[in-house]
Amino acid sequence: MTIKLAAVIEPNATRYKAITAALKKAGLKVSAAREPEALKKEQLVVVGSSLKSPSRTAREVKKAVPDALVFAGQSSGFKAPWADAVLPLPVSANDLKVRLAERASRAPSVPVSPRPGDGILDPTTNFYTFSHFKEVLFVEVKRARRYGFPLALALVGFDTIEGNIDAELQTQLMGGLALAIRRSLRDTDYPVQQTNDRVLLLMPHTDLAGSLIVARRICERVARATLQAGDTVLHPTISVGVAAGEPGREYGFSDLARQAQDGLSAAQARGGNRVEFVTLAEAPPASRPEFPLPAP
């Protein structure tokens, strides 16, 4: 479904103006509809958090335009069961473009796997490729610094597996990792395929403590899984390096990426199946606390 016409239902005038401006900047036309009963052909409706009952409004929107996507526009909280997706406030036009593309890729009428040569989605994990997504990553870091909210980055990689890893086994490994990641992330987080065997996780509005919880959850899910390779049963494990940007501190995407890589290297050097974190002000990884996980 191609989304061209949107509407914003938000009683707060300042928020309405900001959301509308972002929608237009993302290339959408915004209708004059401000109530569910005024909706006609809109394909996207943003339901604001200033409403007395956003969930009830969302139900009314679905009655008026059943095929429309409903986004929850909110500055706090990252789950909205009544919406198709959460749109974090303040809205970034680039962020909105990505969310719309992601929702479109999930539609039954649109194939999830990319066409050969597209380079947008990784064919194994269905995560966005780094080359396609890097501009959004840079923008999200700048947005976090500008508006003063925390942001975390994690780099996920498999620990060493004994034996020959052929293409079929690699596909199974990455498919299982993708499932563990999707079950652990929130609607506002972004998984990005950095390389064939590394996944980058961008977590806006997330501090170091929150990102460690997510990273441990993914590690534990992978460690509980088994994989059959011929006559051998494998117990793959992963390591995760985490870095967090703090409000009020100068940093860029390259800083966070380098720290996440340092954390991943430290985790794997200590035996793997663990999470290591790095912050801007801390010493080398070897002196930082470690978060070992139970043996699978």
The domains found in the chain, sorted by start residue, are 5-106 (3.40.50.2300), 128-292 (3.30.70.270)
Mean pLDDT, consecutive 10-residue stretches, the chain (296 aa), reads: 89 93 91 95 93 92 93 72 80 72 54 48 85 83 88 94 79 88 85 92 92 95 83 88 89 92 95 86 44 48
Residue 181 burial (10 A CB sphere; 0-12, 13-18, 19+): buried
User: Which has the closest alpha carbon to 164: 116, 215, 221, 230?
Assistant: 230
* CA–CA gap between residue 79 and residue 220 (Å, rounded): 22
pLDDT at residue 113, as a whole number: 44
Q: Is the pTM of this model over 0.75?
A: no
User: Which has the closest alpha carbon to 158: 255, 225, 203, 254?
Assistant: 225
Phi-psi region of 248 (alpha: psi -120 to 50; beta: other; left: phi over 0): left
User: Which has the closest alpha carbon to 276: 191, 183, 156, 185?
Assistant: 156
pLDDT at residue 77, as a whole number: 53
pLDDT at residue 124, as a whole number: 84
Radius of gyration of the chain (CA): 21
pLDDT at residue 57, as a whole number: 95
* CA–CA gap between residue 201 and residue 184 (Å, rounded): 11
Which neighbouring-strand residues pair with 86?
Answer: 72
